[in-house]
Chains A and B, each alone.
Chain A
Amino acid sequence: MLWEVDIYPAQGQPNRLAEDATAGATDLGFPSSIDVEAAQGYLIQGNLRPEQVERIAAELLADPVVERTVIARVGDARLAQPPEGRPLLIHVLPKPGVTDPVAESALRAIADFDIPADAVRTFKKYWIGGLSDDDVTALVPKVLANDAVEQVIAGPLEFEHLEVGSPYEFQRVTVPLGELDDEALLKLSRQGQLFLSLAEMQTIQAHFRDLGRDPTDVELETLAQTWSEHCSHKTLAGRIRYRDENGETSYQNMLKETIFEATQQIRRAAGPDDDWCVSVFEDNAGVIRFDDYYNVVFKVETHNHPSALEPYGGANTGIGGVIRDPMGTGMGAKPICNTDVFCFAPPDTPADEIPQGVLHPRRVMRGVVHGVRDYGNRMGIPTVNGAVFFDRRYLGNPLVYCGNVGLIPHDQSFKNPQPGDLAVALGGRTGRDGIHGATFSSAELTHQSDELSGGAVQIGNAITEKMLLDVLLVARDRGLYHAVTDCGAGGFSSAVGEMGEKIGAEVWLDRAPVKYEGLSYTEIWISEAQERMVVAVGEAQWDQLSALCASEGVEATVIGRFVPTGRLQLKYGDHEVADLSMDFLHDGRPPVVREATYAPPPVVEFPLPANDTEGYTDSLQEILGSLNVASKHSIIRQYDHEVQGGSVVKPLVGSNNDGPGDAAVLRPVLDSPRGIVIACGMNPCYGDFDTYHMAASAIDEAVRNCVAVGADPARIAILDNFCWGNTDRPETLGSLVRAARACHDLSIALGTPFISGKDSLNNEFRPEDADEPISIPSSLLISAIGQVNDVARCVTMDLKTPGNRLYLVGLTKNELGGSHFAQVESLAGGRVPTVDAPMAKQTFAALHRAIDAGLVRACHDLSEGGLAVAAAEMAFAGGCGLRISLDRAPASDGASHPAVLLFSESNTRLLCEVRPDDAHAFEMALAGVPHAVIGQVVDEPTLRIVPGDDAAPLIEADIETLKQTWRKPLAW
């Protein structure tokens, strides 16, 4: 029998579920007459007496102080009594098979009452009035439910059982490839969601023709997954012929010859004794030296396509997935902080401009933020650094970058699976969630993507992963396994396939624990169900590992063995369903050969405004209030950025805890003063001018953010994450190769090695009625990890004390191309910011000496909006005024125009607050680097910038007004 418990807020308590629905509806332009009542509900299946259900409701499910319940058997008229004026009833339930963590916990808790429930499912119940039926029909998918993971039932619930799957009957499936022509091969690739190219399909066809048999479905899926762009990075690690205005270069492996090569060169130059890179571009995350006992690891991933379809689940599993990368690095690192960077279309995009199949950017943004928040916070990992960029071209294709840093002892930094080891699955069970995620993430989104690929969206359960983490670190320290890796894209297929690459593996798929019956062997093998890892365990270790996992309620199951056959063999019961050679699987893919071209657009000189008398206060206000610059406090505060107790420089700093910090600093070892610094750099606007300078600028920005808080520039490592459009087009691939060449050059020039990276290609969306897809702007995120010896030497960006001097460090050039000034003034053209790399290296080293010597009271980097924005931020963050005169600012020829001095976004520039007594020492430290005193900190709370002494101000504004302009746009 099936019981329903509806939980409403008690009289006088707010109904948040209803408020959220109403706000979401009116945001999208539904009539304000909408009137919603809503309940959270539970369906409980079992042979239960009414008083048992009432007891569960009163003591477990509802809070009698603030909630009331309606309890009846499903179908009872009491459950269908509409509240006054709200006649329409909508139920929203997770689809069968979609993770429902609350229901799982509730079921276990009911067992504590000794009450025999069989199954539980949660739902939301909405009563709606004040809208037409048509409006309600439109409202449901836009606001109340997401078809990718939820089912909607209008009217009362009528079913009698909760679906829990039906038994699976084994049937071995082979795919007849032998006779297919090219067209049929491509059709099979597309319809089977394999997303393999013709050359790849032909290679597979030939391979099996040689073997004299057809592949099974699971063999084909395994190949498709292993050869996917997501897992093999075949385009960027492939052969590329690149041409630009300087000539032609042929790469055998583009990434290896640019980005990896830079790191190798830096390591060679350092020599074995001073090489602080430990493991780069090898494991699930890059590993570098931290102190005498620990290394740190860092990885950043993207989860773009799932987040486009289901923002909450996509972002949730995005952060959940990247946390498993450090956990799966070496013998397993302890995660110590998260980062997140998002790219969205502007949240004020009119609802009627949203193409079919696309969610409104406001909904995407809310869902993504909540997804990261709920997973990161539950894992107990502080989210300390991030950024949000807005551009219309992200409409159908938002970007979600999630990063995680981990801490690992030196002697646990490498894994070593042994022949004969058991393959053990740890953590969550396998379900049908996330089938085809790896291949789907390499495909272009269309308006039909939500129908085709809904199965690729997973919902996470952070606590399952936290439990897994808790036992993993204990097992690691007790030496209970030889190797660990995560089940990421591709699930068991990628985890076992990679770990057994050099040995061979046999897997017994019928032994994998499943969430419900009915999964085929192929589904078990490629499912991307979350919160699973695979460890290689020696026979002698297994009993102890098994007991440890059981003691904390973590499932550990032997699913196979690493056997020295050089083959990947899959079995279901006694049936063999796959037998692939590891060589063919990992090295059989035909090389991808691509053309790449780049022609930088001609420089159009910037039409500088005439020296007007109105000044630039309005321009400054507009930039401060523009979405990319505006405060992200409403997002930041939803993240726990202090858990684990290591917080030193928080994301928001200053006299009122609300100024924009340049980088986060944390102390991962609580009884040590050594700190980790985390920052990022990204500026897609510059990519429209020249992706070389875009990449160079992003690297300079990430590094200078680290240096600004006190990081040693000789110990900063960086990560690349390329999100690009369709690289089948030579000019799109050319723009990426050009960026990678900049990464190579800047990395070497600054001595800043890349330690890990990832790419996400095909970020395009094809609306139903359009011939041409909309491509995202070239989006290279550079994430940086720096180190400080003693966190007590760190500085923050807020002004400290009236009377102190303000120095501008670095040279201002006429570089307003792609700047925020150009955007708010609607000016096209200009020169994009470039980096003078040798000077950048010298500047960062000199500034670090000054900071380390305690000579700098505040330091802030100049980025979006240039000097004017940086000065305003320092002033309002510190609650002090500033008097600035531009005439002494170090500037290159042609940069003397006040608009350039105020708003140019030239790289390698920082503002420093220095005590008068320290001025001489500061200047000595900065010898050889452009710098000058340009102003003074004052008591009076205004920002006043003049072109020269005695001249009328260019900018004059009250700092509180500036702060409110900056705080307001995203305060929702």
Chain B
Amino acid sequence: MATPNVLILRAPGTNCDLETAFAFETAGAKTERVHVNRLLEEPNRFDRFQILCIPGGFSYGDDVAAGRILANQIIHHLSDAMARFKDAGKLILGICNGFQVLIRSGVLLDGNAEQGSPATLTWNDSGRYEDRWVRLGTDGTKCVFFKDVERMYLPVAHAEGKFVARDEATLNRLAAAGQLVLRYLPLDGGMAGAKRSAGWLGHSEAVPQATDILPFPDNPNGSQANVAGVCDATGRVLGLMPHPERHITRTQHPRWTRPETTQTGDGLKLFENAVAYFA
């Protein structure tokens, strides 16, 4: 199949759906924005899509906690349809609020009854919402979305994006499995940070220690191990806090009027990879 169909999931408070659809279409996909109520009425609607994207926003106002209410609906009403989608070898992408939903619903990282969720996204160390650009590095080749991507420059815009694992063992396990696929890098170009963190920039064996956490604003929220994005064990489900759909064209770059910038946005490749996966 040449042109994958992308389901852009909409819920009350979703607000990055249009530009996310635009990014997928620029990358060559077909998109349809579907309200969660339509899926609740008819979970089989999932089946005719190849990619599911939960875009950014404030689903249900982020009331109680970011992404919690939509995650709750997925757990209670859509978990079978979601599992079927995943098992069919399709792709799932959660951006910002979508990442929060994927992690809280257990779609991204399986939990178990005794121990609960392996990780969470909690309040930024700054205690508030912030919109700023970050430098990112990918780790390993596991994730479909990051094929041939090493570095990206993207904006984050969130209040609850600090990645915290349940315990150190869980963090180690995720790192060893290559699932901590996207990390914040120093804004100065990555040299200082790259040296210090050589262990986890390659195929990681060494688990980052707490002392490796980059200072604000390199790591904008205080995430453990500087984690900005996580994939599941298959590499086909990705959640990330930064917004790739906000860096598709040159003029979205905060310094496009300066000599140093490039012609296309770093975020486009992620969507192109998703489309190419079905080529």
Mark A residues whose CB is within 8 Å of B.
13-14, 16, 19-20, 58-61, 63-66, 101-102, 104-106, 108-109, 112-113, 373, 377-380, 461-463, 466-467, 470, 551-553, 637-645, 647-650, 652-655, 657, 667, 670-671, 791-792, 794-796, 798, 800-801
- The answer to whether A112 touches B72 (Cβ under 8 A) is yes
- The answer to whether A377 touches B72 (Cβ under 8 A) is no
**Residue from A113, A667, A798 in contact with B251 in the complex, judged by beta carbons closer than 8 Å:** A667
Binds A, one of B85-93, B124-132, B173-181: B124-132
Cβ of A378: which chain B residues have Cβ within 8 Å of it? 13, 15, 58, 61-62
Taken together as a complex, chains A and B put the C-alpha atoms of A912 and B171 apart, in Å, by 52
- The answer to whether B61 touches A642 (Cβ under 8 A) is no
Q: On chain B, which size bracket covers the interface?
A: 35 or more
**Residue from B76, B120, B164 in contact with A112 in the complex, judged by beta carbons closer than 8 Å:** B76
Q: B231 contacts the other chain (Cβ, under 8 Å)?
A: no
Taken together as a complex, chains A and B put the C-alpha atoms of A80 and B35 apart, in Å, by 44
B230-261 vs A, CB cutoff 8 Å, 1 = contact: the mask equals 00000000000001011010111011111100
Q: B68 contacts the other chain (Cβ, under 8 Å)?
A: yes
- The answer to whether A551 touches B116 (Cβ under 8 A) is no
Cβ of B140: which chain A residues have Cβ within 8 Å of it? none
Q: B49 contacts the other chain (Cβ, under 8 Å)?
A: no
Q: B37 contacts the other chain (Cβ, under 8 Å)?
A: yes
Q: B122 contacts the other chain (Cβ, under 8 Å)?
A: yes
Which B residue's beta carbon lies closest to that of A799? B258
User: Given known contacts A66-B120, A112-B72, A639-B131, is B254 in contact with A650 (CB within 8 Å)?
Assistant: yes
Taken together as a complex, chains A and B put the C-alpha atoms of A670 and B22 apart, in Å, by 8
- The answer to whether A653 touches B257 (Cβ under 8 A) is yes
Cβ of A645: which chain B residues have Cβ within 8 Å of it? 16, 18-19, 22-23, 245-246, 248, 252
- The answer to whether A637 touches B127 (Cβ under 8 A) is no
Cβ of A104: which chain B residues have Cβ within 8 Å of it? 63
Chain B: minimal CB distance from A372 (Å): 11
Cβ of B14: which chain A residues have Cβ within 8 Å of it? 380
- The answer to whether A63 touches B58 (Cβ under 8 A) is no
Cβ of A467: which chain B residues have Cβ within 8 Å of it? 12-13
Mark B residues whose CB is within 8 Å of A.
10, 12-16, 18-19, 22-23, 35, 37-38, 56-58, 60-65, 68-69, 72-73, 75-77, 116-117, 119-120, 122-123, 125, 127-133, 155, 157, 164-166, 243, 245-246, 248, 250-252, 254-259
User: Given known contacts A463-B58, A642-B243, is B12 in contact with A552 (CB within 8 Å)?
Assistant: yes
- The answer to whether B19 touches A644 (Cβ under 8 A) is yes
- The answer to whether A796 touches B131 (Cβ under 8 A) is no
- The answer to whether B164 touches A66 (Cβ under 8 A) is yes
User: Given known contacts A60-B72, A105-B61, is B122 in contact with A654 (CB within 8 Å)?
Assistant: no
Q: Which 7 A-B pairs have the closest CB atoms?
A: A380-B15, A645-B19, A105-B63, A463-B61, A65-B120, A102-B63, A796-B257
18 interchain pairs (CB within 8 A)? A13-B122, A59-B75, A63-B120, A63-B122, A102-B63, A105-B61, A105-B69, A373-B129, A377-B157, A461-B61, A467-B12, A551-B37, A551-B38, A643-B56, A645-B19, A645-B246, A795-B257, A800-B258
Taken together as a complex, chains A and B put the C-alpha atoms of A654 and B15 apart, in Å, by 28
Taken together as a complex, chains A and B put the C-alpha atoms of A108 and B243 apart, in Å, by 29
Chain B: minimal CB distance from A101 (Å): 6
Cβ of B132: which chain A residues have Cβ within 8 Å of it? 637, 657
- The answer to whether A551 touches B35 (Cβ under 8 A) is yes
Taken together as a complex, chains A and B put the C-alpha atoms of A109 and B60 apart, in Å, by 10
Cβ of B61: which chain A residues have Cβ within 8 Å of it? 101-102, 105, 378, 461-463
Taken together as a complex, chains A and B put the C-alpha atoms of A378 and B132 apart, in Å, by 17
Chain B: minimal CB distance from A890 (Å): 26
Contacts across chains A and B counted by CB atoms under 8 Å? 167
Taken together as a complex, chains A and B put the C-alpha atoms of A102 and B58 apart, in Å, by 13
- The answer to whether B157 touches A643 (Cβ under 8 A) is yes
Which A residue's beta carbon lies closest to that of B62? A378
- The answer to whether A642 touches B64 (Cβ under 8 A) is no
- The answer to whether B130 touches A638 (Cβ under 8 A) is yes
Cβ of B64: which chain A residues have Cβ within 8 Å of it? 60-61, 102, 105-106, 109
A65-B166, A551-B37, A649-B257 given; 18 more Cβ-contact pairs under 8 Å: A14-B125, A20-B127, A63-B120, A64-B117, A65-B119, A66-B120, A66-B122, A101-B61, A378-B15, A462-B58, A462-B61, A470-B10, A642-B155, A652-B254, A653-B254, A653-B257, A795-B257, A800-B257
- The answer to whether B254 touches A65 (Cβ under 8 A) is no
Taken together as a complex, chains A and B put the C-alpha atoms of A886 and B33 apart, in Å, by 59
Chain B: minimal CB distance from A166 (Å): 27
Q: Per DSSP, are chain B's interface residues mostly helix, strand or loop, or mixed?
A: mixed
- The answer to whether B63 touches A106 (Cβ under 8 A) is yes
Cβ of B69: which chain A residues have Cβ within 8 Å of it? 105, 108-109
Cβ of B58: which chain A residues have Cβ within 8 Å of it? 377-378, 380, 462-463
Residue from B15, B60, B62, B72 having most chain A Cβ neighbours under 10 A: B15
Taken together as a complex, chains A and B put the C-alpha atoms of A801 and B257 apart, in Å, by 12
Cβ of B65: which chain A residues have Cβ within 8 Å of it? 63
Which A residue's beta carbon lies closest to that of B19? A645
Residue from A58, A657, A801 having most chain B Cβ neighbours under 10 A: A657
- The answer to whether B72 touches A109 (Cβ under 8 A) is yes
Cβ of A641: which chain B residues have Cβ within 8 Å of it? 131
Taken together as a complex, chains A and B put the C-alpha atoms of A463 and B35 apart, in Å, by 15
- The answer to whether A466 touches B37 (Cβ under 8 A) is no
- The answer to whether A800 touches B120 (Cβ under 8 A) is no
Chain A: minimal CB distance from B49 (Å): 20
Taken together as a complex, chains A and B put the C-alpha atoms of A104 and B64 apart, in Å, by 10
Cβ of B13: which chain A residues have Cβ within 8 Å of it? 378, 462-463, 466-467
Chain A: minimal CB distance from B122 (Å): 5
- The answer to whether A463 touches B12 (Cβ under 8 A) is yes
- The answer to whether B164 touches A794 (Cβ under 8 A) is no
**Residue from A14, A63, A112, A377 in contact with B73 in the complex, judged by beta carbons closer than 8 Å:** A112
Chain B: minimal CB distance from A8 (Å): 14
Taken together as a complex, chains A and B put the C-alpha atoms of A20 and B126 apart, in Å, by 12
- The answer to whether B257 touches A794 (Cβ under 8 A) is yes
Residue from A14, A60, A112, A640 having most chain B Cβ neighbours under 10 A: A640
Taken together as a complex, chains A and B put the C-alpha atoms of A866 and B35 apart, in Å, by 52
Which A residue's beta carbon lies closest to that of B116? A64
Which A residue's beta carbon lies closest to that of B243? A642
- The answer to whether A16 touches B131 (Cβ under 8 A) is no
User: Given known contacts A638-B129, A642-B246, is B12 in contact with A553 (CB within 8 Å)?
Assistant: yes
Cβ of A648: which chain B residues have Cβ within 8 Å of it? 251-252, 256
Taken together as a complex, chains A and B put the C-alpha atoms of A648 and B119 apart, in Å, by 36
Cβ of B246: which chain A residues have Cβ within 8 Å of it? 642-643, 645, 647
- The answer to whether B164 touches A65 (Cβ under 8 A) is yes
User: Given known contacts A642-B155, A798-B258, is B127 in contact with A16 (CB within 8 Å)?
Assistant: yes
Taken together as a complex, chains A and B put the C-alpha atoms of A277 and B17 apart, in Å, by 32
Cβ of B259: which chain A residues have Cβ within 8 Å of it? 800-801
Cβ of A794: which chain B residues have Cβ within 8 Å of it? 257
- The answer to whether B122 touches A65 (Cβ under 8 A) is yes
Residue from A66, A462, A649 having most chain B Cβ neighbours under 10 A: A66
Taken together as a complex, chains A and B put the C-alpha atoms of A640 and B116 apart, in Å, by 32
Chain B: minimal CB distance from A857 (Å): 8
- The answer to whether A640 touches B76 (Cβ under 8 A) is no
Cβ of B57: which chain A residues have Cβ within 8 Å of it? 380
Cβ of B125: which chain A residues have Cβ within 8 Å of it? 14
- The answer to whether B19 touches A670 (Cβ under 8 A) is yes
Residue from A65, A641, A671 having most chain B Cβ neighbours under 10 A: A65
Chain B: minimal CB distance from A110 (Å): 9
Taken together as a complex, chains A and B put the C-alpha atoms of A379 and B133 apart, in Å, by 21
Chain B: minimal CB distance from A606 (Å): 38
**Residue from A377, A462, A791 in contact with B129 in the complex, judged by beta carbons closer than 8 Å:** A377
Taken together as a complex, chains A and B put the C-alpha atoms of A796 and B10 apart, in Å, by 36
User: Given known contacts A66-B122, A466-B13, A647-B246, is B131 in contact with A637 (CB within 8 Å)?
Assistant: yes
**Residue from B72, B245, B248, B256 in contact with A59 in the complex, judged by beta carbons closer than 8 Å:** B72
Cβ of B157: which chain A residues have Cβ within 8 Å of it? 377, 640, 642-643
Taken together as a complex, chains A and B put the C-alpha atoms of A553 and B64 apart, in Å, by 19
- The answer to whether A647 touches B120 (Cβ under 8 A) is no
Cβ of A801: which chain B residues have Cβ within 8 Å of it? 259
Cβ of A105: which chain B residues have Cβ within 8 Å of it? 60-61, 63-64, 69
